[in-house]
Amino acid sequence: MNFNHLPKRVRLVDVGPRDGLQNEKQPVPTAVKVELVQRLQDAGLTEIEVTSFVSPKWVPQMGDNAQVMAAIGRKPGVRYSVLTPNLKGFEAAVAAPRAFWPDEIVVFGAASEAFSQKNINCSIAESIARFAPVVDAARAAGIFVRGAMSCALGCPYEGDIAPERVAMLAALMKGIGVQHVGVADTIGVGTPIKVQRALEATLQHYGINDVSGHFHDTYGQALANTLIALQMGVWQFDTSVAGLGGCPYAKGATGNVATEDVVYLLHGMGIETGIDLDKLVDAGQFISDFLQRKPHSRAATALLNKRAA
């Protein structure tokens, strides 16, 4: 590896409060979610995915989205994002006074036709058509639009996903005005060569500054996949504090890569993040204590054991 070509600084988007907590079966009170966001920004996170504006019928955990957005103590320089899967969700996200609006919205599409049908009951083309007015409305309101390209490395129904499918989805996202896309290994089956091919496909349509990696650690490949992306010049990644979030298609498997593990990796390579690892570990411990389990982060576990000793 040529370490001279690695980015000097990396920006991490912590998706724990949204992507991590949404699948938790036990209700997480609004105050706990707000405290988690507070602890993340105090640790130096400048990008936090806070909640999603979806029907509470489908995702009960996110039913307090407006209350959470109104209660967080916003820090200058921090960007707060929310998932808005349709126009109704976007309108709900901006129904409050402007001070409580998100700085960024996230829309999502799948590189797998089967996953799109089973996950959101429509084709890829139909999902893009559904997102187009959301993107238009957000950009007209001065809100940044990020797109998540799910199942870009593998699908629980179709298996491997060809890079051409990723390129097609990236082109569709670009076509409706999505400003940034994340290459997401939704089920954590990716390996470095697959990541390289998916990123190369995405870079046919987006510049390196408008592409990020979103890797799940189901098969223990997330850090290796992060490393190959770094080598390609990618400097933005989604991570989840304490490894919050599971993988519904691999029972018992971990989901999102832990923010603590990625920060430990980056700091060990001399790459700046602006994040205080000790405070980040504390944030992970806080939410893990509430959920009554240990953090799904090897770095956090090691550091907590070191403290205890």
Residues assigned a catalytic role? 247
Q: HSE-up of 25 (CA within 13 Å, CB side)? A: 2
- Whole-angstrom distance, CA of residue 121 vs CA of residue 98: 32
Are the beta carbons of 51 and 62 closer than 8 angstroms? yes
- N- to C-terminal Cα separation, the chain: 36
C-alpha pair distances (Å), 228 with each of 87, 118, 210, 222, 263: 36, 31, 17, 10, 16
Quick one: tokens of 4?
A: 């001279």
Helix 259-268 to helix 277-291 angle, to the nearest 10 degrees?
A: 160
Are the beta carbons of 144 and 179 closer than 8 angstroms? yes
In which residue are the tokens 């409060």 written? 17
Helix 298-308 to helix 277-291 angle, to the nearest 10 degrees?
A: 100
How many residues can be counted in the chain?
Answer: 309
- Whole-angstrom distance, CA of residue 178 vs CA of residue 145: 5
- Residue 238's DSSP bridge partners are 13, 214
Q: Give one DSSP letter per residue of 131-158, joined into a string.
A: HHHHHHHHHHTT-EEEEEEETSS-BTTT
